[in-house]
Amino acid sequence: MTDSAGQRQTSNGLAIVQIPVVRLTPPRQELELHFSQVSYSVKSATKGTKQLLHEVCGQLRSGRLTGVLGPSGAGKTTLLNVLAGFKVNGVSGQFDLNGQPRDLLSFRNMSSYIPQDFEMLSLLTVEETLRVSADLKLPTSTPLEQKQKIIDDIVDILNLQSCRRTLVRSTSGGERKRLSMGIELITNPPVMFFDEPTSGLDSVTSLQVMGYLQRLAHDGRIVVCVVHQPSSNLMRLFDDVLVLAHGELLYAGPQAEMLGCFQQAGYCCPNYYNPADFVLEVGSESSNQRCDALIEQNKDRHSSIKRLHKLIPDEQTALMDSAIDLRPDSVVRPKEQVSFSYQLCVLMKRHLRVMSRNLIAVQMRIIMHVVVALLLGVVYWQIGDDAAKLPSNVACLFFVMLFAFSGNAMPSILLCLQESAIFIREYYNGWYSLNAYYISKVLADLPLQFTCPTLFIGISYFMTGQPPELSRFLMCWAVCIITTFIGHFIGVIAGSLLDMQMSIFIVPASTIPLMLFSGFFIRMRELSWFLRPICDISFFRYIFEGLMRAIYGYDRGHLSCQSEYCHFKSGKQFLKDIDMQGDEFGWDMMVLSLVTLLLLIAFYATLHVSIRRAL
């Protein structure tokens, strides 16, 4: 699949990107971000404190495309995160915006950060993705016509006309890169940071993407991007360059003056040599004392810029002193632009649209529940009223419990893993509040959580010959519904906290042992005394007990016996034998409801942990 961005060939055969003539409104104010003596350190459990940036100095100016270069491990992405305000803990140094100390929260409101792995919902079209961004990032008072015009302008300037109604998963790499730019261009930010925007792209597509970034910069924005190893063609597009090596800044300034500064320090670039390759080779020799001369030379050049304020020892501390909201995430998170109800409405529509197109989440899961219910009905055909087959019917009901749980827990892990990175990015960009996402996520999943178990129990209940009483059917249905909820929330909690491999291991490993204490494999009175408390905390016990009481409790009477001898002809006697006597279905449902409530609270806490962990 190839991009549709236009190109032309020069006389020497080089591909030049042809940028569309459509323009977004340029930012009104020229900006200059000056940073000096910026250091960043992290705490490690094994190595103590490790410093990743060492007193770097430089400046970023609007109207110029700035490239961040350096060998692997030089600290390029770390510097970008610090400059963009996404890293605050462990940061020290001075940040001046137009000669005044930078207010981090205000800066985050006027800037955007596009990471290397910019996650997007793959089952939305390009236009739908931009529409959601416009609905959540623009003020509620913005007319629909103006939103549509902004979307159309972005589609034109990024040359996305041919794929605007294409699902994101079906777009090419270059189109996805340009779409990630478009999502952030909705608010026309004057400052944009890009982490390796050419990663994974071929040379032609990389040139196209960098051409768009140059265009955005020359429209009056600060545009900074990390490029791992640019070609000579890409290098020509940069107006300014930052060269990093082992967390130290060798050079920060115009590209036209870069080679001259290196030459003064004793490094001469050979003729016809790619300047990017040359500075990367120099950076790999940063232990050389001549590199120390480069570092000091860069510090001296930028320290000569007039500073109106003293050095800020810790930017986070300075902000926290004057901040009203002292939560850690409030330091770097802009305020939402739309009301809570509007956030909820937009997120609900997005969740439902994505789910309706998801083969695994909806279509295959519904088909799976129907097929397994039919198979269960065929295997256990009309055994529900036969006293001679009562053990087999109990096994059938245990399978109902097992499938209702596992058939919803495992798919929920995968779905949550796909959305977790997107939620973190959008939350920290101020698209919506945590409460809006949480409520919309819970509500959007309800239709599927009701549909699947209803189809499953509706088919299997009557095919297996369970008692044809509405009250008993409704009790079984209620148990299946709440079992589905429990499985679903355990899946999403694991998917939010852990990676895929760990989640798929932890969920079965932590829940399957609890099935031993459900009352199916061993009667509770036969357990050792120190194991009996586990039965009280195993939710499988209350699920299985609820099913048993729904089928055999509440004065069901004698079962029909199709053999010469039936040991259990009375449902009441059977429940007494397995230690589940008493018509206490309400108690079982109350305990299961409490478990569901605890899982809902745990899911909310899990989202809190996820956003704090991203700081």
Strand partners, 48: 44
Measure the CA–CA gap between 495 and 503, rounded to whole angstroms: 6
The last residue of one of the domains, among 271, 298, 323, is: 323
Q: 265 in a domain, yes or no?
A: yes
Task: Give the count of beta carbons closer than 10 Å to the beta carbon of residue 566.
Answer: 17
Mean pLDDT calculated for residue range 251-277? 84
From the list 202, 147, 186, the residue with the least C-alpha distance to 5 is 202
Give the pLDDT confidence score for residue 305 in this predicted structure.
56
Q: What is the mean pLDDT of the chain?
A: 81
Q: 572 in a domain, yes or no?
A: yes
Measure the CA–CA gap between 242 and 58, rounded to whole angstroms: 8
pLDDT band at 127 (very low <50, low <70, confident <90, very high): very high
- Compare 244 and 528 and report the one with higher pLDDT: 244
Predicted confidence (pLDDT) per residue in 433-448, tens digit: 899 999 999 998 888 8
User: Helices H, strands E: what count in the chain?
Assistant: 21, 12
Q: 544 in a domain, yes or no?
A: yes
Residue that the structure tokens 């985050």 belong to: 108
Predicted confidence (pLDDT) per residue in 175-217, tens digit: 888 898 888 888 888 888 988 888 877 888 888 888 888 888 8
Q: Please, are residues 242 and 68 in contact by the beta-carbon 8 Å criterion? A: yes
DSSP 40: E
Contacts 24+ apart (CB under 8 A), 198-201: 198/227, 198/228, 198/230, 198/234, 199/116, 199/228, 200/173, 201/173, 201/174, 201/177
Tell me: do 311 and 361 sit in the same domain.
no
Give the pLDDT confidence score for residue 188 in this predicted structure.
82
Tell me: do 316 and 399 sit in the same domain.
no
Helices (H), 219-310: 232-235, 258-264, 275-283, 289-303
Q: 447 in a domain, yes or no?
A: yes
Predicted confidence (pLDDT) per residue in 346-367, tens digit: 999 999 898 888 877 778 888 9
Measure the CA–CA gap between 385 and 466, rounded to whole angstroms: 6
SS3 420: helix
Mean pLDDT lowest among 48-52, 336-340, 536-540: 48-52
Sequence-distant (6+) residues with CB within 8 A of 558 are 387, 569, 570
- Given a cut of 90, whether residue 500 has pLDDT beyond it is no
- Given a cut of 90, whether residue 477 has pLDDT beyond it is yes
Q: What does DSSP say about strands 64-69 and 240-245: parallel, antiparallel, or unpaired?
A: parallel
Give the pLDDT confidence score for residue 15 in this predicted structure.
42
Give the pLDDT confidence score for residue 345 in this predicted structure.
93
**Residue 473, amino acid:** F
- Residue 204, domain CATH: 3.40.50.300
Residue that the structure tokens 């009562």 belong to: 390
Q: Please, are residues 423 and 610 in contact by the beta-carbon 8 Å criterion? A: yes
Residue that the structure tokens 């789910």 belong to: 355
**Residue 438, amino acid:** Y
- Given a cut of 70, whether residue 18 has pLDDT beyond it is no
Mean pLDDT lowest among 134-138, 335-339, 556-560, 588-592: 556-560
Tell me: do 270 and 361 sit in the same domain.
no
Which range has highest mean pLDDT (62-66, 92-96, 495-499)?
62-66
Q: Please, are residues 158 and 23 in contact by the beta-carbon 8 Å criterion? A: no
Tell me: do 385 and 531 sit in the same domain.
yes
Give the pLDDT confidence score for residue 402 in this predicted structure.
92
Sequence-distant (6+) residues with CB within 8 A of 56 are 35, 38, 39, 79, 93, 244, 247, 248, 249, 252
Tell me: do 412 and 503 sit in the same domain.
yes
Give the pLDDT confidence score for residue 5 in this predicted structure.
43
Maximum alpha-carbon separation in the chain = 105
Tell me: do 145 and 195 sit in the same domain.
yes
The last residue of one of the domains, among 276, 293, 323, is: 323
Measure the CA–CA gap between 518 and 418, rounded to whole angstroms: 33
Mean pLDDT calculated for residue range 452-470? 91
DSSP 337: S
Q: 280 in a domain, yes or no?
A: yes
Tell me: do 394 and 489 sit in the same domain.
yes
| Domain carrying residue 59 | 7-323
Task: Give me 499's structure tokens.
Answer: 């990676």
Region of 63 on the Ramachandran plot (φ > 0 left; ψ -120 to 50 alpha; else beta): left
pLDDT band at 11 (very low <50, low <70, confident <90, very high): very low
Q: What does DSSP say about strands 91-97 and 100-101: parallel, antiparallel, or unpaired?
A: antiparallel
Measure the CA–CA gap between 190 and 410, rounded to whole angstroms: 43
Q: 329 in a domain, yes or no?
A: no
Mean pLDDT lowest among 109-113, 141-145, 483-487: 109-113
* Whole-number percent of the chain with pLDDT over 90: 20
- Given a cut of 80, whether residue 55 has pLDDT beyond it is yes
Give the pLDDT confidence score for residue 482 in this predicted structure.
95
**CA 107 to chain centroid:** 23
Task: Give the count of beta carbons closer than 10 Å to the beta carbon of residue 521.
Answer: 9
Measure the CA–CA gap between 598 and 482, rounded to whole angstroms: 13
Tell me: do 285 and 367 sit in the same domain.
no
Q: Please, are residues 517 and 541 in contact by the beta-carbon 8 Å criterion? A: yes
Q: 38 in a domain, yes or no?
A: yes
Tell me: do 231 and 354 sit in the same domain.
no
Exposed, middle or buried: residue 225 (CB in 10 Å: 0-12, 13-18, 19+)? Answer: buried
Tell me: do 373 and 503 sit in the same domain.
yes
Phi, psi of 31 (to 5 degrees): -125, 150
Measure the CA–CA gap between 432 and 430, rounded to whole angstroms: 6
Q: Count of domains in the chain? A: 2
Give the pLDDT confidence score for residue 333 in this predicted structure.
66
Tell me: do 346 and 313 sit in the same domain.
no
Tell me: do 358 and 240 sit in the same domain.
no
Give the pLDDT confidence score for residue 369 in this predicted structure.
92
Give the pLDDT confidence score for residue 372 in this predicted structure.
93
Predicted confidence (pLDDT) per residue in 309-334, tens digit: 444 444 443 333 333 333 445 445 66
Give the pLDDT confidence score for residue 321 in this predicted structure.
35
Give the pLDDT confidence score for residue 484 in this predicted structure.
94
pTM of the model: 0.78
Give just the sign of the alpha carbon dihedral 219, 222, 226, 230: positive
Give the pLDDT confidence score for residue 12 in this predicted structure.
42
Q: 330 in a domain, yes or no?
A: no
The last residue of one of the domains, among 323, 354, 387, is: 323
Phi, psi of 430 (to 5 degrees): 75, 25
Task: Give the count of beta carbons closer than 10 Å to the beta carbon of residue 398.
Answer: 20
